[in-house]
């Protein structure tokens, strides 16, 4: 510390105002701590990437696209629907109003909890010290904290040959802010972000091509689920180029190279680069705090998410899927652990959801993973064609698949593909956490006619081994 720099004393510091950050702040405040959040955007950043740029804006786009798509599918039918057009400036105003209201709601909770939100960037200068760069003419603010939670989230990975320019090449946040749909949209990256936004854009009227370097879209998802998304994408008119690499973009479009080495130029009014995200831990000065990161920039933590005795890390900054609901759960544990309470996250099931068409929701172990772990399994599968509710929705693509451990008769996993399965996976997560059996599910009365009956009916297929 430079002579003359008297650090301000802070009790409980949170770095980042996203889901992990604001949850840790509220939890610590409820436990009697005096909490300060530092976020680059200050109060305007409350909600983080998820609320402001990702989860909520993308679902607004997906929902709007689905409304238009269904109107088009029913156009000319006996129901007499007319084709719909979407006014994108009005959509943006509506979407921004939703985001603003939700962000203000979270900020209101923080304010009620006595949490102070500061705008600026934070970096560590010691094991319990740091500096906040506020910017402008304001001098750096030196602070000394009792405990801190790192909840800085992640940033979009850039492809050197496709730098984001905000004019033709965009990350997801940039695409979601467009007030005019591109006629030709090329999506580089067939992961969940690429497929969600690409599918929505196609439904809204763009001509979409998805370029994926691997041999399948949605890598890491069960093939039994991915095949439904591929089939539906092709029906919608989306071109999927697997095994292709993007080389660069020019006036004529984007050049891609296929697995045979042949190149072609795809017309592109806009390019969405969605090849992944990396933790935003690079400029935190973690070494000064005695905290190391791995080669991916992730911070190793213990069961209480502590990276050191007085510093914890949650969300995209630590290992595991980059999910808001995971960050929220981790933040509660981290805050309690730093407040001296016994706390650890022992979860056997974290649901993964892709808001594609049809939706995919996976939780626990799929059949391949269960068998690889040595389990003797039973797989209970029921197609959505068996659902009366799905039939009335004209949305029968997909299936419910439950994985059961024969030795214990417990449900250990589920792969759900179909309409609104994001709303069904919560039941399966609870079932796995509670070690429920198929009988527990099948003898639980589900309302009729609903999509949730698919879980009940699939479970009813199970026959336990004698003895």
* Burial of 79 (C-beta count, 10 Å sphere; 0-12/13-18/19+): exposed
DSSP category for residue 212: E
DSSP string, 301-356: --TT-BSSSSEEE-GGGSSS---HHHHHHHHHHHHHHHTT-------S---EEE-S
CA angle 238/244/245 to nearest 5° reads 115
Residues 6+ apart with CB under 8 A from 18: 47, 48, 49, 50, 51, 151, 153, 315, 324, 327
Return the SS3 of 423.
helix
CA distance 125 to 128: 8
Whether the Cβ atoms of residue 209 and residue 271 lie closer than 8 Å to each other: no
DSSP category for residue 120: S
Q: Classify residue 159 as left (phi > 0), alpha (psi -120 to 50) or beta.
A: beta
Active site residue 325: no
Catalytic one among 244, 310, 446, 448?
A: 448
- The pairing of strands 399-405 and 377-383 is antiparallel
Half-sphere exposure for 92 (CA within 13 Å, toward CB)? 11
Active site residues: 448
């Amino acid at each position: 510390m430079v002579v003359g720099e008297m650090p301000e004393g802070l009790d409980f510091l949170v770095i980042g105002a996203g889901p992990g950050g604001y949850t840790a702040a509220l939890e610590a405040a409820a436990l009697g701590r005096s909490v300060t959040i530092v976020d680059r955007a200050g109060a305007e950043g409350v909600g983080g990437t998820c609320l402001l740029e990702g989860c909520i804006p993308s679902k607004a786009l997906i929902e709007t696209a689905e409304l238009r798509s269904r109107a088009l599918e029913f156009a000319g039918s006996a129901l007499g629907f007319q084709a719909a057009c979407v006014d994108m400036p009005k959509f943006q105003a509506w979407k921004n109003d939703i985001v603003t209201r939700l962000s203000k709601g979270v900020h209101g909770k923080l304010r009620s909890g006595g949490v102070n939100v500061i705008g600026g960037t934070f970096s560590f200068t010691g094991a319990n010290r740091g500096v906040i760069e506020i910017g402008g003419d304001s001098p750096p603010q030196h602070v000394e904290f009792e405990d801190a939670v790192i909840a800085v989230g992640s940033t979009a990975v850039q492809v050197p040959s496709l730098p984001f320019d905000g004019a033709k090449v965009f990350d997801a946040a940039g695409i979601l802010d467009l007030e005019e749909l591109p006629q030709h949209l090329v999506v580089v990256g067939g992961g969940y972000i690429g497929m969600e936004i690409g599918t929505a854009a196609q439904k809204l009227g763009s001509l979409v091509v998805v370029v994926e370097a691997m041999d399948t879209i949605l890598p890491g998802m069960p093939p039994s689920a991915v095949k439904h998304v591929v089939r539906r994408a092709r029906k919608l008119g989306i071109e999927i180029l697997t095994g292709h690499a993007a080389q660069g973009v020019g006036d004529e479009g984007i050049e891609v190279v296929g697995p045979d080495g042949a190149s072609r130029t795809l017309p592109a009014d806009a390019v969405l680069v969605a090849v992944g995200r990396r933790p935003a831990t690079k400029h935190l000065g973690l070494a000064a705090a005695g905290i190391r990161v791995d080669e991916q920039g992730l911070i190793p933590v213990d069961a209480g998410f502590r990276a050191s005795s007085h510093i914890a890390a949650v969300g995209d900054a630590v290992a595991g899927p980059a999910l808001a609901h995971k960050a929220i759960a981790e933040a509660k544990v981290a805050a309690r652990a730093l407040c001296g309470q016994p706390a650890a996250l022992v979860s056997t099931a974290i649901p993964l959801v892709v808001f594609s068409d049809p939706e995919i929701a996976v939780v626990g172990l799929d059949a391949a993973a269960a068998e690889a772990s040595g389990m003797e399994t039973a797989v209970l599968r029921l197609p959505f064609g068996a659902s009366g509710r799905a039939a009335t929705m004209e949305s029968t693509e997909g299936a419910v698949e439950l994985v059961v451990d024969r030795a214990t008769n417990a449900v250990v996993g589920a792969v759900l593909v179909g309409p609104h399965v994001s709303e069904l996976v919560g039941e399966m997560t609870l079932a796995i956490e509670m070690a429920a059996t198929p009988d527990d599910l099948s003898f639980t009365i589900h309302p009729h006619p609903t999509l949730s009956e698919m879980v009940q009916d699939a479970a009813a297929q199970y026959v336990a081994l004698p003895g």
